[in-house]
Chain A
């Protein structure tokens, strides 16, 4: 029987994968993907806990996150394109104009 803990473990694993992506990747696009992975890991956790408690709030929140993620990707990708046009690269190591 697959229980809540299984879902949460999967969620945690996926979140960790996403986190590692955020930490290790140098390409901004890949960072975006990693963020999406983390968001979805959270979604899984929300849905699972929602089901477990028989409370729809969590699933509603998951939908909400999906909606936000979609709009974020739309804005974010637009910005990435502008950035790429300006600097010709999406590598984070090249984008260090804020160095203190």
Chain B
């Protein structure tokens, strides 16, 4: 029974994808979206049932479908493991996916590739389910690459758009951004593959249970190498510095895609990997600390870029990046269950935020510049509430989900005695509150800064707003389930509790974070709630420009990696391959041809000449014979 549910949860999205693909090239048919969404809901229901089953029995469901690759001593099955960690991910993924699917029926309403979109979107969910459900590293890698491809397809969904200069569109074009995302992820995937190789040759298997059981017997250097390699893989998917540029460019994709893939699910795969492989990471404190430090750095780094950005979706993308940093910080510090909890809570409120942004975009006819919005509160009351709730959750205001999860991470940093990380995370919490509400105020408050004669913003369809409500509800209440969640997942994950010392200070710590969060909101309110006052001096300052241009990192990559690579390739082809390698071959051929041509002249037809050559040859032979006789 439970086995069947596992298959239903896994293959329902796949069925939806295939069904939609059947109509992929025909014009829009609403039932395609409905069927795909229903199948997703079935998958969600199955996942939720499984979650209840795992919760009530405490036992994991493990199924092996068939053998996949078997060569030499390597055997990789298609095996699926539904335990506390994966069932959490499954439920979160299918829930957010179902909402996003229903949302997309409204959002992609006018798109002529409506059917194709659902096919890709469901395929993504299927890949993501493989990723989280697999019982071995190779299966995880299938999902890992699968979500990469679906992300490529979906970022480049509007492939027909032409490339633009970077100054006009920082992402250049959807197809450019899609390729960037795929290639950057591939760089990290190599790290991941190497991690798999290290594990296989030292353990002899890629099954989680076998590998984790073998961890105590492995040497420190092997574990460090494996952990580092796996984390490099995680860095790509979760867009950690320096592989982060693709995530903001990925905003070229349709907004539901950004909500599902580039906020709620796929980008958290890296965090999931660290949590899943926690026995390895627990055994490598140096690597884990590096993860925490990098995560903290990214949290601050991304938040700083969000402070000045004007693009509605990019701000949210940066905040995603920043929150992923928080998750890595928690996971790196050993608080795996807190990281997982923040992952789930973040999935709810960030998806909600993105979908809200999608509503705004829909209303504003594709406009994304928040400097050209304002006053949308009246026209879009529900969207305003949704985005407000999501922003409150993101900023970590009490009662809302983000407060519980983010606060726990910050406390963890304090509890571990890593006060520098703690300070940075607290500062970042303030920045998060500021940029979230800067965006909310600039979008919804103040006066309209767009041409009201041509543009009439309108609220999204009713059913879309209703579909978004579960996310809003969860963004509000998810935090209250923290205790239950802890007992649930710590059956599998190592428990993490604060020391007594931290426990005593908990109110002080919370208060500090709250002061920063409320301070950020207050600052945003002062500056932006009553309309936008442009500050030319600030906008021309070096820091502002640095942040607005993402520290010039994309430009740096282009100048120092992309262009040199293209130039080097050109040289390799024209100068090395053509002028050296091939020219050598042709040179030998030409030499033979020329020497034939040259020696042809010996054939004068004159017997006398021939005799001369003959005599010369005989003399030469005699000389050779004499020399060789002397030598021997």
Contacts and interface: CB of A to CB of B under 8 A. Distances in A.
A–B touching in complex (CB under 8 Å): yes
B607 A95 contact: yes
A25 B61 CA distance: 105
Interface string A3-26: 000000000000000010011011
A36 B224 CA distance: 92
B593 to A, nearest CB: 15
Interface in B608-623: 608, 611-612, 615
A96 B611 contact: no
A98 B605 contact: yes
B608 A93 contact: yes
Interface string B599-611: 0111111111001
Contacts of A99: 603-606
Interface residues of A, number: 15
A48 B608 CA distance: 31
A98 B602 CA distance: 11
Interface string A62-100: 000000000000000000000000000000110111111
A92 B615 contact: no
Nearest to A35: B611
B604 A92 contact: no
Contacts of A31: 607, 611
Contacts of A22: 611, 615
Contacts of A93: 606, 608
A35 B612 CA distance: 14
Contacts of A25: 608
Nearest to B614: A22
B607 A92 contact: yes
A88 B605 CA distance: 18
Contacts of A96: 604-606
Contact of A92 (B601, B602, B606): B606
Contacts of B602: 100
Contact of A98 (B601, B603, B608, B615): B603
Contacts of A98: 603, 605
B615 A19 contact: yes
A23 to B, nearest CB: 6
B607 to A, nearest CB: 5
A97 to B, nearest CB: 6
A93 B604 CA distance: 10
Contacts of A92: 606-608
B612 A23 contact: yes
A32 B375 CA distance: 119
Contacts of B606: 92-93, 95-96, 99
Nearest to A24: B608
A31 B614 CA distance: 14
Contacts of A97: 605
A97 B601 CA distance: 14
B605, B612, B615: residue with the most chain A Cβ atoms closer than 10 Å: B605
Contacts of B603: 98-100
A83 to B, nearest CB: 11
Interface string A37-64: 0000000000000000000000000000
Contact of A100 (B605, B608, B612): B605
Nearest to A99: B605
Nearest to A94: B606
Contacts of B601: 100
B615 A23 contact: yes
Contacts of B600: 100
A99 to B, nearest CB: 3
Contacts of A19: 615
Nearest to B615: A23
Nearest to B618: A19
B313 to A, nearest CB: 79
Nearest to A97: B605
A58 to B, nearest CB: 21
B623 to A, nearest CB: 16
Contacts of B615: 19, 22-23
Contacts of A26: 608
Nearest to B599: A100
Nearest to B616: A23
A25 B442 CA distance: 110
A92 B604 CA distance: 11
A22 B618 CA distance: 14
A81 B600 CA distance: 31
A99 B610 CA distance: 11
A26 B344 CA distance: 105
B130 to A, nearest CB: 73
Nearest to A95: B607
A100 B611 CA distance: 16
Interface string B565-607: 0000000000000000000000000000000000011111111
Contacts of B605: 95-100
Contacts of A23: 608, 611-612, 615
A100 B600 CA distance: 6
A28 B611 CA distance: 12
10 contacts: A23-B608, A28-B607, A31-B611, A93-B606, A95-B606, A95-B607, A96-B606, A98-B603, A99-B606, A100-B602
Given A93-B606, A97-B605, A100-B603, 20 more contacts: A19-B615, A23-B612, A25-B608, A26-B608, A31-B607, A31-B611, A92-B606, A92-B607, A95-B605, A95-B606, A96-B605, A98-B603, A98-B605, A99-B604, A99-B605, A99-B606, A100-B600, A100-B601, A100-B604, A100-B605
Interface of A: 19, 22-23, 25-26, 28, 31, 92-93, 95-100
Interface of B: 600-608, 611-612, 615
Pick the 7 closest A-B CB pairs, nearest first.
Answer: A100-B603, A99-B605, A96-B605, A98-B605, A92-B608, A92-B607, A100-B600
